[in-house]
Amino acid sequence: MSLLDGSIVNVAVPTLIHGIDASYDQVLWVIDGYLPVFSVLLITTGGWGTSSDTAGCT
């Protein structure tokens, strides 16, 4: 899922550059900050969802 999201964000780089009037380096900084946070939250919430699902099954 993170790989797919990273691919989508990288395809949108030219649109981001023109849309927010930023340089290529500035957009890369934003992407480099976004992808690790997204990955950590995806793993964490996936673990919470699995633990809460198995706790409810008796």
Residue 55 has pLDDT above 70, yes or no: no
pLDDT tens digit string along 3-15?
Answer: 777 788 889 899 9
Torsion angle of the four alpha carbons 45, 51, 54, 58, in this order, in degrees rounded to the nearest 10: -130
**pLDDT-based confidence at residue 1 (cuts at 50, 70, 90):** low
Q: Is the pTM of the predicted complex or chain greater than 0.85?
A: no
| Mean pLDDT, residues 35-57 | 78
Q: How far apart are CA 31 and CA 8, in angstroms?
A: 11
The pLDDT score that the predictor gives to residue 14 is: 92
Q: How far apart are CA 1 and CA 17, in angstroms?
A: 24
Q: How far apart are CA 12 and CA 55, in angstroms?
A: 40
The pLDDT score that the predictor gives to residue 23 is: 93
The pLDDT score that the predictor gives to residue 45 is: 87
